[in-house]
Amino acid sequence: MRGAGAVLAVLVIAGCGGGGDQQQGSGSNIQADSVAYATQQFDAAAFDTISWTADTAATNRGRVVFAFSCRKCHGAGGLGDGGFVFQGDTLRPPSLVASDWKFATDPAGFRLQVFTGNTEGMPHWGLVTGMKLRDIDAVVRYILTDLRAGVDTTKGM
């Protein structure tokens, strides 16, 4: 899987190169293909083997992963206000703490999203960047518990 990930990384980087409309369309196709490939490589059962000594061990690790991998786009509080600029555009990721956020009660779906990324600019953390499944599990736990603590699920943010 690592060899395929390296090849995929080269394809994604090549697809992100500047240029005319034709290259950008091609880059979009490569991005969509890489999300599809990452989705095929995802194994939800692999997360069943992850154990933590305590919930706090998981969320503490997740806090570190979030700070290094997620905060630049999603912002320190997870509001989607990180202001990261990619290819000249400021990314506008979703708020991770909004009461109507689609993964608020779906840890399995959220792990898949982190692993595969998306075509709107979220990296393929589990495949191309090589984030360990343990770190994906930790950051998902951190976001769904600590970061979202106190979110009023009866109101939109």
- Model confidence pLDDT, tens digit, residues 97-143: 999 999 999 999 999 999 999 888 888 898 778 899 999 999 999 99
Q: Encode pLDDT of 37-71 as tens digits.
A: 999 999 999 999 999 999 999 999 999 999 999 99
> Is 143 in contact with 110 (CB distance < 8 Å)?
yes
Q: What is the dihedral of CA 102, 105, 106, 111, to 10 degrees?
A: 90
Residue with tokens 């979202």: 148
> Is 134 in contact with 48 (CB distance < 8 Å)?
no
Q: Tokens standing for 137?
A: 């599990």
152 vs 31: CA distance, rounded Å: 35
Q: Catalogue all structural domains in the chain, each as residue range(s) with its CATH number.
A: 2-147 (1.10.760.10)
pTM value surpassing 0.95: no
> Is 102 in contact with 95 (CB distance < 8 Å)?
no
pLDDT of amino acid 109 = 97
Q: How many CB atoms lie within 10 A of CB 142?
A: 23
